[in-house]
Amino acid sequence: MKKIILIFLSIIYLFGFNNEIELFDTLFQVMLNKKKIKVYTKKYTHLGKNFIIVNSCKEADIVLGELNCSKPRFVLDYYTLKSDKNAIGGFYWRKGRPQLRLRRANLEKYNLFISKEFEDYLE
């Protein structure tokens, strides 16, 4: 567990992530192999210059949060990640520490890819 947290913090330091938005930006660009990503979310009103927030699931490339949709879903809560078998991964805080988890089977299901920097977060 300590190793995973150290790796995650190293990635944050190496890539200069100041917050989760920058992490989402890098991770989603790699997974979707796109520069501009259409995101369906209710949690965020602004995600950054590389994201386009859309109002419907049909328009989206990825869903961010606990919304019911047939697109790849990235959740923001530990309990939702554990209960949602269709989520591709999740980012959440647990005991004051950032946690990133990616599900290999669901990434493959949606034909999504990750770079070597994120392979340590696969389950």
Q: Enumerate the domain spans of the chain.
A: 2-121
Residue 82 predicted with pLDDT over 60: yes
Provide CB contacts within 8 A for 51, sequence distance 6+: 24, 25, 28, 36, 37, 38, 39
Residue with tokens 């977060």: 121
Contact by Cβ (8 Å): 6, 97: no
**Tens-place pLDDT, residues 19-72:** 778 888 888 888 999 889 999 988 877 777 889 999 988 999 999 988 888 899
Residue 115 predicted with pLDDT over 90: no
Residue/partner pairs of 38-44 with CB below 8 Å, 24 or more apart: 38/62, 39/63, 39/64, 40/64, 40/67, 40/69, 40/71, 41/65, 41/67, 42/67, 43/76
Q: What pTM was estimated for this model as a whole?
A: 0.78
Q: What tokens were used for 31?
A: 């997974």
Q: What tokens were used for 55?
A: 């109002």
Residue 14 predicted with pLDDT over 50: no
